């Protein structure tokens, strides 16, 4: 069975698809740019029997044709479009022409995919039309959260199959028990449109005024420009590069006792509808917690992901955040219970557990 996987942006999600689909009589043909191949190789993906890398052309306008050529050349029965953020109509045409091949589109932003705004000018109109053509042309969809699927069904955006595929998996063989104490990590791209860093500043200021650092916070992630946190109080460590190596990233997660996702309620991007974190859009931080088997800390305005509700703490304001963490720091029994709940939740996200149900559904002929 020949499977073609394409992506240009979300290498960790693509890695999950590779882990789920590899093995058996399936042969994976992974079509990516050189930079993403390096990211996948850093996560342990190797070109060997059953998996082969192909290099995408350098120009976006050439991608759809390259995908179609490869899928037809290998006789693909499944084509996974991991991310389509440009040339939507060209990919829609590919999906319609792939006879005998099931095309699955991974949706990262529900509102933008199913009810896109019309941008300005002719280009905006063409983009909106292309997006509508794409969702009508594929056979099925993949999303990262059950809440995203529920929202799509509630709004009746589509009657096609929708598969829930987490952004990352849990590997118990690589699990390291969480340390005692309060070491918080804020992972993910360092971007003020995707993270609200001010609660971190205010928390550390309050800890400093109280006279003792009972907690430490590490911010780790890629950033195009070197971020400036120089005016933050003591207790903050920042690890930022253009690309943070997978081993460095994993080490920071393993050294943390809890993963903190200080997300804004909405994700806004020019020319697109606002997305709601936890409802119409996922955050990679959710799955960072899962991959490390760590509890999750979220602001109360974010819907807690279904699979980690038992090991997620939420806070409504600065006072609640401060006293919640202070109480936890002083209660080692509560810390131990939270660690066990996080490990139990993560075990539902192993490749073995998910492969049993997801893969037969995805490979089912349309």
Burial of 246 (0-12, 13-18, 19+ CB in 10 A): middle
- Model confidence over 313-350: pLDDT tens digits? 999 999 999 999 999 999 999 999 999 999 999 999 99
Residue with tokens 């490990």: 343
Whether 80 shows a pLDDT value over 90: the answer reads yes
**Angle in degrees, CA 365, 160, 123, rounded to 5:** 115
CB-based contacts of 137: which residues, under 8 Å, 6+ apart?
Answer: 92, 93, 95, 96, 103
Q: What percent of the chain has pLDDT over 70?
A: 99
- Residue 189 · residue 255 · CB < 8 Å: no
Q: Which two tokens stand for residue 202?
A: 């205010």
Q: Is the dihedral of CA 221, 222, 224, 230 positive or negative?
A: positive
Distance CA 36, CA 248 (A): 17
Q: What's the rounded Cα separation, in Å, for the pair 131 and 319?
A: 44
If we measure between CA atoms, which residue out of 301, 221, 226, 223 comes closest to residue 267? 301
Q: What is the pLDDT of residue 175?
A: 96
Among candidates 53, 67, 143, which has minimal Cα distance to 98? 67
Count of CB atoms within 10 A of residue 301's CB? Answer: 14
Quick one: tokens of 74? 């290998």
**For 274-289, how does the pLDDT look when each residue is reduced to its tens digit (9 = 90+)?**
999 999 999 999 999 9
For residues 104-125, average pLDDT: 91
Identify the CATH homologous superfamily for domain 2-167+350-363. Answer: Glycogen Phosphorylase B; (3.40.50.2000)
Instruction: From residue 178, give the alpha-carbon distance in Å to each of 88, 296, 313, 324.
Output: 43, 12, 16, 19
Mean pLDDT of 249-255: 95
Give the pLDDT confidence of 169-180 residue by residue, as tens digits: 999 999 999 998
- Say if residue 303 is exposed, middle or buried (CB neighbours under 10 Å; 0-12, 13-18, 19+): middle
* 225 band by pLDDT with thresholds 50, 70 and 90: confident
Task: Tell me where in the chain the CATH 3.40.50.2000 domain(s) lie.
Answer: 2-167+350-363, 172-348
The CATH code belonging to domain 172-348 is 3.40.50.2000
Q: What percent of the chain has pLDDT over 90?
A: 84
Q: What is the mean pLDDT of residues 221-248?
A: 86
The mean pLDDT of the chain is 94
pLDDT band, residue 366 (cuts 50/70/90): low
pLDDT exceeds 80 at position 212? no
**CA–CA separation, 260 and 286 (whole Å):** 9
Residue 355: pLDDT band by 50, 70, 90 thresholds? very high
pLDDT band at 360 (very low <50, low <70, confident <90, very high): very high
Q: Is the pLDDT of residue 123 over 90?
A: no
Give pLDDT, residue 241.
85
Q: Does residue 40 contact residue 14 with C-beta atoms inside 8 Å? A: yes
CB-based contact 10:85 (threshold 8 Å): no
How high is the pLDDT of residue 156?
96
- Three state DSSP letters for the chain: CEEEEECCCCHHHHHHHHHHHCCCCCEEEEEECHHHHHHHHHCCCCCECCEEEEECCCCHHHHHHHHHHHHHHHCCCEEEECCCCCCHHHHHHHHHHCCCCEEEEECCEHHHHHCCCCCCHHHHHHHHHHHHHHHHHCCEEEECCHHHHHHHHHHCCCCCCEEECCCCCCCHHHCCCCCCCCEEEEECCCCCCCCCCHHHHHHHHHHHHHCCCCCEEEEEEECCCCCCCCCCCCCEEEEEECCCCHHHHHHHHHCCCEEECCCCCEECCCCCCCEEECCCECCHHHHHHHHHCCCEEEECCCCCCHHHHHHEEEECCHHHHHHHHHHHHCCHHHHHHHHHHHHHHHHHHCHHHHHHHHHHHHHCCC
Is there a contact between 325 and 295 (Cβ–Cβ < 8 Å)? no
Choose the weakest-confidence range: 37-51, 189-203, 221-235.
221-235
* CA trace torsion 261, 145, 13, 177 (10° rounding): 50
Residue 277 has a pLDDT of 95
* Distance, CA of 111 to chain centre: 17
Q: How many residues belong to the chain?
A: 366
């Amino acid at each position: 069975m020949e499977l073609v996987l394409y992506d240009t942006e979300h290498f960790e999600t693509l890695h999950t698809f590779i882990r789920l689909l590899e093995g058996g009589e399936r042969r994976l043909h992974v079509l990516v740019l050189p930079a993403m191949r390096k990211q996948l190789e850093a996560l342990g993906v190797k070109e060997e029997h059953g998996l082969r890398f192909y290099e995408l052309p350098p120009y976006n306008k050439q991608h759809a044709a390259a995908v179609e050529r490869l899928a037809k050349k290998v006789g693909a029965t499944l084509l996974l479009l991991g991310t389509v953020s440009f040339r939507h109509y060209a990919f829609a045409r590919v999906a319609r022409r792939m006879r005998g091949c099931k095309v699955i589109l991974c949706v990262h932003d529900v509102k933008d995919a199913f009810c896109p705004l019309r941008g300005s000018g002719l280009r905006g109109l063409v983009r909106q039309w292309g997006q509508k053509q794409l969702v009508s042309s594929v056979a099925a969809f993949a999303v990262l959260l059950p809440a995203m699927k529920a929202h799509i069904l509630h709004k009746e955006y589509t009657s096609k199959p929708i598969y829930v595929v987490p952004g990352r998996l849990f590997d118990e063989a690589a699990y390291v028990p969480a340390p005692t104490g309060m070491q918080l990590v804020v992972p993910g791209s360092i971007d003020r449109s995707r993270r609200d860093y001010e609660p971190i500043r205010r928390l550390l200021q309050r800890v400093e005024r109280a006279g003792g650092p009972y907690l430490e916070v590490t911010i780790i992630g890629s950033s195009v420009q070197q971020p400036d946190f120089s005016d933050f109080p003591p207790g903050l460590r920042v690890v930022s590069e253009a690309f943070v190596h997978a081993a460095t990233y994993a080490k920071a997660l393993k050294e943390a006792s809890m993963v903190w996702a200080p997300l804004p309620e909405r994700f806004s991007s020019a020319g697109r509808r606002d997305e709601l974190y936890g409802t119409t859009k996922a955050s990679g931080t959710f799955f960072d917690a899962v991959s490390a088997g760590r509890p999750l800390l979220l602001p109360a305005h974010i819907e807690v992901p279904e699979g980690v509700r038992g090991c997620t703490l939420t806070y409504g304001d600065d006072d609640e955040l401060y006293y919640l963490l202070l109480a936890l720091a002083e209660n080692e029994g509560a810390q131990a219970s939270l660690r066990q709940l996080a490990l139990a939740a993560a075990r539902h996200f192993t490749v073995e557990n998910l492969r049993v149900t997801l893969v037969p559904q995805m490979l089912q002929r349309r």
